[in-house]
Amino acid sequence: MAPPKVTIFQMEDHVARALAYYISDLSSKFISANGSFSVVLSGGTVIHTLRKLVEEPYASGIDWSKWLIFFIDECVVPFTDPNSNYKLAYDGFLSKVYI
C-alpha cells in the first residue's frame, strides 16, 4: 500500500485554490455518476477557504443546481447570528451561486 500523499502549502490562498480545484473536479465526477454532489459544511475556516469556488475558472464549471448542502454544528443560533455556519456559508459563497 502506497503512503498517503501530503501537500504542504505556504499560503492559505494556495490552499483555497487547490481546494476549489479539488472540489470542482469531485463535483463534476459525482454529478456525472450519481446525479448530485453532497457537501457537509462545518464551521471554522473551511467555509472561508471555499470562497474560491465562486471565482473563475471554477464557478462556471460547477453545476450548482445539483449540489446538496448539509450543515453540522454543535451550537444552535439563528441564521443571522455571526456564529451561524449557515450565515458564514451564505455570505461567503452560497449567495453568489445558484443552488
Calpha distance 19→89 (Å, rounded): 15
User: What pTM was computed for the model?
Assistant: 0.83
* Tens digits of pLDDT across the chain (99 residues): 888 889 999 999 999 999 999 999 999 999 999 999 999 988 778 888 888 999 999 989 999 999 999 988 777 888 888 888 888 888 888 898 887
Alpha helices (H) in the chain, listed in sequence order: 12-34, 45-49, 85-92
C-alpha cell of residue 23: 472540489
Question: Within a domain: residue 7?
Answer: no
Give pLDDT, residue 31: 97
What is the CA angle 36-37-40, rounded to 5?
Answer: 140
Q: Look up residue 48 and give its amino acid.
A: H
CATH code, 52:
3.40.50.1360
Question: What range does the domain containing 18 cover?
Answer: 12-96
Query: Number of folded domains in the chain?
Result: 1
The span from the CA of 75 to the CA of 79, in Å, is 11
Rounded-to-integer distance, Cα 99 and Cα 97, Å: 6
CA atoms lying within 13 Å on the CB side of residue 24: 19
Structural domain includes residue 16? yes
Judge contact between 95 and 61, C-beta under 8 A. Answer: no
- pLDDT value, residue 21: 94
